[in-house]
Structure formats: C-alpha cells, structure tokens
Structure 1
C-alpha cells in the first residue's frame, strides 16, 4: 500500500492531506488566526471551583475559560502500568474537588481537547509531551509500549532500552510510540535528551511566568505531520512551499535524519491538491450523502449529541438474492464509513444503521470489516456488537472540531436546522401578528415588510384573506417586499 502526505501552504492557511492508494484519507487544517491548542501547556489560574460538577473553570488566556474535571487531576501512583500509545494513567476515585483546588490558585495544565462549539477547552494536569518516538510523562515513572507494536521481543527490547535511558535523565515515565518499532537505541536516546530539555524549560517557565502564560506550545501543523503521521508506508512528503520545505528539512535533519530523502519540494504548475483530486474530495466531504461504487449510498448526519450513518442499497440490485445484495452493500459501506470518519474527523458517539441482515455470520463479517478498516485510524475507536435493533454503536476520540465545523457555519436562513418554514406558514404567522398588534396598540394603518416570496404569496394567493382581515380589523394593511429579509423574517410596523 502506497501512502503520501501532501502539505499545501498559503499565507493564512496550511493544509495537510494523507493519501493512501490515490485516495484522500485524512485532512488537517491550521489557520494562522485560529491555531489549535491541543498539547499546549499553560500556567492557569482557577477561576471557579464547582463542587456539584466535581470540576473547575480555569483561566489560561483563551477566549473562554477552560474545563478541568477532578478525574483529570493527577494523584496516581508513579509505578502504575500502561500499555498503549494513548493510554491514560489509572487514577484512584477522585477526591472532592474542593480538596484539590481553590479559587485563585495557580496550576500548570495541558489542553487535551480544543474548544468545540460552545464548550471551552478540556484540560488535564497529567502532562505529556510527544516526540518522534516517545511521549514524556514527567509526573510518572511508568514505561509503557504502544499496543500497536505486537512483536513481544521488540516490545521487551524497547522497554528495556527506554528504562535504562530514562534513569539517566531524571527517571521520568515514557510511552513508547508505534514509530519507535525497529529504531536503534541511539535514536531513542536523542528523543529522551530532547524531551528532557523541553521539560526543563517548561518547569523554569512555570516558576517564572505570570498566570495565563503559555509554557509550551506544540509544533506547527507541517512539523506535527512529519512527527506524527509518517509511518513505514509513507513514501513521500510533498510540500508546495519553499520556506516550509526548508523548515521541514531542518527539522528532520536534527531529529530524524533517515527521513530527509522523503521530504520533497513540489514545484509543478498545477496546485498540488488539484493534482491529487483533494479539493473535489473536500467538497464531497461536506455533503450528507456519500455514494458507494455498487450504487448504494450513505447518509451522514452530524448533531451536537452524536453522528448517525444510514446505509441504503440505492440502485444496487445484486445478482443473487436480497440477503446477498444487502450483505455486499453493507461490506462496502463498512469500509466507506471508516474512511469518512477519518476524512470528516467525526468523533464522539456514532450510530451506524446498516441494512438489516438475517444471517449472523454476515453481521459478524460486516463488523469485522468495519474494525479492520478502522485499524489505520490515528484516533482511538471502540466498536460494539450489533444492538437488538440492528444498529452498530461506536465511539471515536475527538480532540478538534470536525471538518464540516471547521469549514462551514450554520445556514443563516434556517439556523442549521436544514429546513425553513414555508411561505404559507410565514403568511399565517404574519396574519396572527397583525391581529395581536392591533389589539395592543392604536394605529390607523399597518405596513408589513417581508421577503419577496412571502409578499408575492400574500398579494396573490391570499389577497382575499387580506381583504377580509382589513374589514375585520377596520385597518388598512400594506405589504412591502425587501430582498434583505430571509423567508422566515418579517416586521409589522404601526403607522
């Protein structure tokens, strides 16, 4: 399987696309005026402790106060054992938040989830700083190994090497990342030395800096992409900016010289994303409906509470019988769903409504296909068995906004509902508002300002109703169309 990473840089926006076998699988976006803050470490000030929620709001200098739950305040044993790249250290049941924090207290925290929607950033005091091959856990002594490294001999080698190296640099804890598989001890030693320097700077800044200061800021998107996304399968990292290319070359020369030959400057005439069809894929990733090659399709609905995916056979008729048609459609849909979750960066609770299957073995195969297709997802996913209603429930870890919410905003006409009131409905609302206004206030005549479509309906199809209303109220009513008014908007003016 061939894999490439494309880096597209414009003055105020950087985009990174992960291409597998010619198809876009992931898209990461960073805009200069709104960089993500996940991974940043701050010296915060506790703004308000809330015993009822076992949490506190902490001011760290962002637009909104951030949220810190008692579960995310480190009090765990330094000898705890973890296994997995994103595994959290186990903690005992949280003490009452009032015993852990007080209003006005300074506290060092790290952002684990960007502000999403109306919610502030999510914080933890369990600091972790990633490098190419390791994640530093400065408050722990644990040495963990990514669960994706399956070879037991390699796991033992890596753990032994990092344990010995950690003892030379303060005895901190580390998680050994998937990228470390097969790496020599020298490469691990360089990472540990680098992380030790970073942590020393964070500690010094924590002592000297005022509240609401940034103590550590994660790398920019292109550098993070090289650090986190390059795997054995990645053949090239193509960059369309000379300046960014030079920065990446300097970065890999310092921290991962074996990758230098994979970083390539793209200087073609066609925009790099157009060349790989990425722009078209981004446009399709904003649509609710996703066509399948067989003729079936998915319908993806993202709400505040969860994301739902409905699978339909569409025009796919199959060749044998209905059960076989449904099975084939669901197999294709399972692969498509896994790709769409990565591409759209959908997280939280996800409900997949596959087409009903009677054969238990077919259900098992579809579930297995979904899990296998999710295996390359960098975000942590958990998939559950088919429910009694034939639904598959799953979760996907979310740390940043979905692609749609990064690139789109709610429709001003329908406020994100996806539908608007009909002109007939608005017409009768206007009639009710006219009656209400006349009963409350004295006026010789009335002026109604509304959208052209609504006014056209009133003066045409509802002209008789208007005449009857004027006679009933004893008032003259005039209607004025205004292009600035949306279909649901109107004003009744008393003259």
Structure 2
C-alpha cells in the first residue's frame, strides 16, 4: 500500500511517501522558505556571452541566473543549429525579460532560467506560448494517448500548448477543460503583473508550496491514506483535495501524536537516516556504496556478506537485481539528478545483464522525475541520467564535515 506521511513541526514541514512500508520519497520545507523552481521573475540582463551563446540575468537572487540560447529560441529553431541566431541578436545588456526558473541554484552555479514558460496543473502542464500538444510517455495505451491529445487540442487557443500528465489517464475532457481554465487564468495574472511598471528584478509568479505541490503531483487513486499530525494542516489538505478530487478526502486522517513523531511511528526516521548513508546494505548481505562528485553520482555494488549457493554468476545476478531496485529507490529518496554511473558486479551472461537493465527500467516507471537509462558501456558500467531540478536531498539533510571536508579521510598528525 502507498501511504503519505505529513509531519508538521514548529520550524519545518516534512513529507514522506511509503510504499509497502518502505520509504521511497522525502521532501521538506522550512516555514517561510520556498522552492524556486517554477517561479517567474522579471529579470535584468547583466551580461551576454556570445562565445557561450548564453546570458546572465539578475532576478533578485544571490547569484545571477543563466539563460542558454535554446531556452529563448522558438522550438522549431532549437533543433537546427545552422539556423540559430547569435545570442547577442536576441538579448541585450540592460534589457528586462520575463523568465522562469527551471533549475534551482546548485553549488556555485546560479539558477537556470527559460522563456519557454509552463505552469503545471493536476492533469497537465500548460504552455502559453508553445503551440504543442503532448502526452506523458508513461501512458502507453495508444488509444488513450490519442483521446487525451484530441481533448486538449479542442480546448486550446491558437499558440497555446499542453502536455497531459500521467495522472490524466482515464479522466474526462471536462476535467481537462477545468484544469486548463485554471492554468490559463494563472498565466493571465502573470501577463498583467509583468506588463506593469515596477522595480526590476521582481517576482511575478510563485509556484505552489510544499503541501499544495504534493497534493497536486502525488495524491492520486493509488494512495491508500494520507496521515498528518497537525489539525490545521489536515484541514488545509482536505480543502485542497476537495477542489480537485473530492472523492479522496476520506483518505486523509489526522493522527495526534502524544510521544515521538509520526515518522517514528512508521519507522520513516530510521529509514531516512539509513537511506542517506554512504554504504547501503541489501537484504541478502550485499551492499551499495554511493559517492557524489561535481559531475556525477556513482553507485558501486558489492556482494559483501552474501556468498550464494550455486556459482559466482548466480551470486552476482542475485545481488545486482536487488541492487537495481535499491538504487532506483535511492534515486527517488535522495532526489539525485544529473549523470549517474552504476558499477554492478561483473556478469558474463548477456541475459543476466539484460535482466538487470529491465529491472532498472521497470523501477524507473515508478519515478515521477524523468529518467533515461542508456545501458551498458564498453567498460561494463551502466550509464543513466535523471532530470535535475534542485539540489539533492543530501544537501538538505547533511552538513559537510569541517575536518575532512567530505572526503572521508583525515590527515595523520
């Protein structure tokens, strides 16, 4: 069963998703703070670099935002490099520009922004200037894909775009219409605010906060129950659900906690702590080591205490299959993005290597974040990518050691 836990503290709100009592997703937000991805700003161009085909904008954050040429070009020119103009022909220093954050600041890098605006809703993503209709790849039934596409096309105005989300499978056209009308109304507010005179830079649109975003993106028919420890948060959640899926209101329960926390009751805290360790043990005695670099994340699979009972090939296959499932869970839990390399235990049989890839691909279908599995490299590694929107949860839950600076080693004195 899928269960969502919402734990409200004095300074922080935390959300955990449990699947069959296993922690698979986690998010948190300090009260008064906000995520930046999805927000829109009127920014000021402060630098244009022709050699990089990019510009930097002051949008009011600590670091200037990065705007690449493909994030400002019309879609039909993005795929034709020879037809691309120079970035200096599109923007100039001092120009005010409406942009949307698509990737939050990470490390020393500022936010990445775009002029390809999009506003996500319950059933789809509205793109006011895209002139494109799409359907989530996770909806595999061709008849249903075509039905959703035609339903959206009938409701769109010239120049508008819409992508039906996975959750839209099976819903009526009237529900798509209602969702689209609400998203269009929000965009109209953005247009009005961005056209008005005011200080630059300034924010003109704020994406949903933690609880509304999770209700919009995660709370579906497949969720058996949502438990929350705070009565006010419970009432807020019920109010949000009543607007979009009133039939699901009965699955929300307020659980007063006298001692400990809601997370403690369902062992979420223990699983959260174990899930962020460098060495993750598998059920059969094998283990996975996780290492992060600036460029990529590496998973190293080892047999550990597991010796098997047949031969080394079978031992490797069994451990790798368990590791593939666990790595997929860790990607979601830690919200790891970017380039990912997995060093599985060597296997000689091609059929076993394919089984490991099939397991990764099957588990990736559970992931709400876009994941691309490239397959085995010539060196016997698995290469994959996962869309990176914000810094992984490692940065939220952990602090770099002041002694070894995260290397795991301390100089001998």
**Paired residues of 2:58 and 2:64 also in contact (CA < 8 A):** yes
Residue 225 in structure 1 maps to residue 224 in structure 2: no
- CA shift for structure 1 position 396: 1.0
The CA deviation string for residues 344-392 of structure 1, in whole angstroms up to 9 with x for no partner, is 1111111111111111111111111111122211111111222222111
| Structure 2: runs of 5+ lacking an equivalent | none
Q: Secondary structure at the residue paired with 1:226?
A: helix
Which one of the candidate residues 242, 251, 257 is aligned to 1:253? Answer: 242
Distance in 2 (alpha carbons) for counterparts of 1:158 and 1:387: 37
Contact 1:76 1:92 (8 Å CA) reproduced: no
* 2:139 is the counterpart of 1:149: yes
What is the rounded CA distance, in whole Å, between the counterparts of 1:301 and 1:166 in structure 2? 46
Cα pair 2:35 2:209 within 8 Å, conserved? no
Q: Structure 2 CA distance, aligned partners of 1:188 and 1:33?
A: 32
Q: 1:129 aligns with which of 101, 119, 128?
A: 119
How far did 1:30 drift? 1.4
- 1:69 alignment partner in structure 2: 68
Matched, 1:36 2:35: yes
Other-structure match for 1:490? none
**Map of 1:243 onto structure 2:** 232
User: Residues 109 and 125 of structure 1 are in contact (CA less than 8 Å); yes or no, is this contact kept in structure 2?
Assistant: yes
Confirm or deny that 1:21 pairs with 2:10: no
Moved more, 250-259 or 346-355: 250-259
Which residue is equivalent to 2:403? 413
Structure 1 stretches lacking a partner, 5+ long: 78-88, 424-495
Q: Greater RCO between the two (CA within 8 Å, min separation 6)?
A: 2
Q: CA offsets per residue over residues 402-443 of structure 1, 9 Å max, x none?
A: 1211122221112222212101xxxxxxxxxxxxxxxxxxxx
Q: 1:252 to 1:91 in 2, by over 3 A?
A: farther
For 1:370 and 1:202, how far apart are their aligned partners in 2? 40
1:273 to 258, 263, 275: 263
Give the whole-Å Cα distance in 2 for the aligned partners of 1:251 and 1:224.
10
C-alpha distance in 1, partners of 2:43/2:247?
Answer: 39
Range with bigger deviation, 253-262 or 348-357: 253-262
Report how far residue 90 of structure 1 moved.
Answer: 5.6
Query: In the alignment, what sits opposite 1:294?
Result: 284
Normalised to the residue count of structure 1, the TM-score between the two structures is: 0.80
RMSD: 1.6
CA deviation after TM superposition for structure 1 residue 268, in Å? 3.6
Note the alpha carbon deviations across 1:306-327, whole angstroms, 9 max, x for none: 1111111111111111111111
Question: Is residue 357 of structure 2 the alignment partner of residue 401 of structure 1?
Answer: no
Q: CA deviation at 1:280?
A: 0.7
Partner-residue secondary structure (3-state), 1:53? coil
TM-score by length of 2: 0.95
Q: Is the 8 A contact 1:309 1:351 kept in 2?
A: yes
The alignment status of 1:384 with 2:374, answered yes or no, reads: yes
Show CA shifts across 1:286-325 (max 9, x none). Answer: 2100001111101111111111111111111111111111
Q: CA contact under 8 A between 2:221 and 2:248: conserved in structure 1?
A: no
Structure 1 residue 153: Cα displacement:
2.0
Q: For residues 385 and 370 of structure 1, what CA distance do their matches in structure 2 show?
A: 10
